[in-house]
Chain A
């Protein structure tokens, strides 16, 4: 399904139009006979930010590589037009591409911790494009490096330039990566999921930086699966699915009123509907007072809250906030150093965990069915009834019972997560702890898993504790909310109240960084 208007007309503006910094028409990429990208066309003008969105497998990474001439040798590439800063790149060989890369078109990847050479100093990394393309002296390069670091708002640039990537925080590292991409003053900057590995508050700042870079005249291609980020900085959006352009157009229009059904699904999945709180008060299941825990340093400090039966408690915080440790203490896997967890029933009820990484949580050599049956056996189900119970569980989580014969690696991410939920349910728990259950999933799959959890809670009367760094996810499932920072609970209460009127500055920051709005 291609976009509603014909490919070109939406892109070419009435005369006089600035020459696009990047122009690609009819891009086609095939590997081993399979066509993975088919007839992709778009153009980016200087000063414009075009977002390339799509879920995994849409062909975004391949397109990016094609724009840089970095596709594997055995790949089959063709295009009607491929113009990078006015240079026809279709017939270029390796040497030709090397003159383009860095100087006219540059790349910023995900996660600067692994995208920068960990053994080299920041200054050396930023200076490398200058060494390759420029003719500056050593002193000249040093000055330019400083200039670039100041440009990306790097505090204390001289000191930072002498440090190595692991010595910088995530946000500063990403800035350094951006600085190194801009060093040789390219006309086009491709940002491939540049903020996915960052915490929400840091994300917002890096996105603002990218917007500023675009405003300063660079053509920015923003590749992402995160519609919220796209909403923030893109002028136009190109939606990819299975290697084809599904829809494209100005960002505001497309996000407000998407024409294609798939685009609508994507946009919907990223806009969170705040949950309607259930009526009435719920019985207290557990009272947690003053719980603290240290490993080599304090991880959790003086946590006190109440867990209510039949409702979902969302725990939100950035990495290192102690939220996972808190969940593990409730599970009984970790023991608190201080404080106590007092269960209403006197003893810990049946409580199970859905892991963050379902691939790791299953024995890779066992089939799903076998893992489920083991869980049932441990839960005391007699041998004869295990197989039918396993099939029933799979059905309950929306999986075809035939999948029981597959190994975890043969399932998709969403299927694995459902299987992990099924296994946790096998022990018939009263409380379900979920650690980042949807963070690794695509937006549309995410929405469906959250809906599944909602349904399960209603049907089984489950109490759920959901831990996440994504406030949007929490907002759409939590009845009550704990906001954590640096091991302490900084704010708590009814989710609707906290999100409507946040008291603590950190909560406000989190809210500002995560975009969500009511459903259209």
Chain B
């Protein structure tokens, strides 16, 4: 049986396990960032064509001397390994380099536009979560659920930028309820946020509902009903928690969806933000900015993933006793999951 000393050792081994997991998580963050930085570095160096010429564009009539000067300026004439090491060194200081086009530090370029994108993404996420929860709680009978599932399928099959254009046509140009453009007012945030929220809400709602439905088919759900519980109690106290586990493992993918969607939505609604920066950098072949954005996305991703991995045992206590993460907790795209 149990001895008094045992509970203490169990507690300390639990916090030891938590420490180890946090350490492993931090390590994986560093590894992924290093991997992303190295891959980007290699990818750009491997590509054919002289970056300076690409940067200046095909029309530029510039002499070789000037080009050489620019090359030296940007440090592109040094040996590869030197460039690599100095890039890594800069990264450790948080220095992402200098934008070719804008002559500004990349971190500043990203930092300036980050706020607008964050605002949009945060509001969209909140709306999406609310919509998804509402869907789960309100739709109980198979007919309502089937209807909701159909709606989700349609939303997920539609390009998010088309949804935005449709909403603009109907609500801005048509009914005039919302401004066509402009990011100053709160009203200008509504349509973009709703547009961005819809695919995320559809996906989240789908996963949540699937989880809840699967939970309702479990034997323990029968036990709960046999105690005299009504549907609300069954959902709120029992099945929702089970359904959320599935949704949690999808967090990284949802964040990715939000980021990608933000680029598209900002373009549709002509809003400032990282979308604009990314597009300009891609079309202008502004490699440092592109690299900076890739690294930034990788950072966001790996942080979200790590948080989810750390949080999973709290949500599902069955994971606590085993050291290995459950296979189902690995991130996966929705279609493949199901």
Contacts and interface: CB of A to CB of B under 8 A. Distances in A.
A230 B66 CA distance: 97
A119 interface: yes
Interface in A66-110: 68, 70, 98-103, 106-107, 109-110
B321 A167 contact: yes
B222 A109 contact: yes
Given A102-B226, A102-B228, A132-B229, A115 B318 contact: no
B227 A70 contact: no
Nearest to A190: B226
Contacts of B222: 70, 107, 109, 115
Contact of A129 (B227, B230, B317): B227
Interface in B176-227: 218-220, 222-227
A107 B223 contact: yes
Interface in A109-138: 109-111, 114-120, 128-129, 132-133
Nearest to A125: B223
Contacts of A110: 219
Given A155-B1, A156-B1, A117 B228 contact: no
A267 to B, nearest CB: 30
Contact of B318 (A111, A129, A159, A164): A164
A166 interface: yes
A110 B226 CA distance: 14
Of B2, B223, B225, B316, chain A has the most CB atoms within 10 Å of the CB of B223
A394 interface: no
A242 B174 CA distance: 66
Of B220, B227, B230, chain A has the most CB atoms within 10 Å of the CB of B227
A236 to B, nearest CB: 24
Contact of B228 (A101, A109, A177): A101
Interface string B216-255: 0011101111111110010001100110000000000000
21 contacts: A70-B226, A98-B228, A98-B229, A100-B228, A106-B227, A107-B222, A109-B222, A117-B220, A117-B238, A119-B238, A119-B241, A119-B315, A119-B316, A120-B238, A128-B227, A129-B228, A132-B229, A133-B228, A156-B2, A166-B318, A180-B227
A128 B223 CA distance: 11
Given A107-B226, A109-B222, A118-B220, 5 more contacts: A68-B226, A98-B229, A133-B228, A159-B2, A180-B223
Contacts of B316: 119
A132 B223 contact: no
Nearest to A155: B1
A349 B228 CA distance: 60
A114 B214 CA distance: 13
Given A156-B2, A164-B317, A116 B220 contact: yes
Given A109-B219, A117-B224, A128 B317 contact: no
Nearest to B317: A164
Contacts of A107: 222-223, 226
A366 B238 CA distance: 41
B224 A128 contact: yes
Give the size category of B's interface with A.
20 to 34
Given A68-B226, A102-B226, A128-B227, A114 B2 contact: no
Contacts of B229: 98, 102, 128, 132
A101 B225 CA distance: 8
A116 B225 contact: no
Contacts of A177: 223
A110 B227 CA distance: 16
Main secondary structure of the interface of B (DSSP, over half): helix
A120 B234 CA distance: 13
A118 B318 contact: yes
Given A68-B226, A101-B225, A132-B228, A114 B220 contact: yes
Given A114-B219, A119-B317, A99 B238 contact: no
A101 B229 CA distance: 8
Nearest to B2: A156
Interface string A357-400: 00000000000000000000000000000000000000000000
B220 to A, nearest CB: 5
Contact of A115 (B220, B228, B238): B220
Contacts of B318: 118-119, 164, 166
Contacts of A166: 317-318, 321
Contacts of A159: 2
A136 to B, nearest CB: 15
A382 B237 CA distance: 63
A70 B229 CA distance: 12
A407 to B, nearest CB: 25
Contacts of B317: 119, 164, 166
Nearest to B223: A115
A68 B219 CA distance: 15
Nearest 8 Cβ contacts at the A-B interface? A102-B228, A102-B227, A107-B226, A101-B228, A114-B219, A129-B227, A98-B228, A117-B220
Interface in A166-188: 166-167, 177, 180-181, 184
Contacts of B238: 117, 119-120
Contacts of A129: 227-228
B225 A70 contact: yes
Contacts of A181: 226
Interface in B233-292: 233, 237-238, 241-242
A132 B227 CA distance: 8
A182 to B, nearest CB: 11
Contacts of B241: 119
Contacts of A98: 228-230
Contacts of A103: 228
A119 B226 contact: no
A129 B226 CA distance: 9
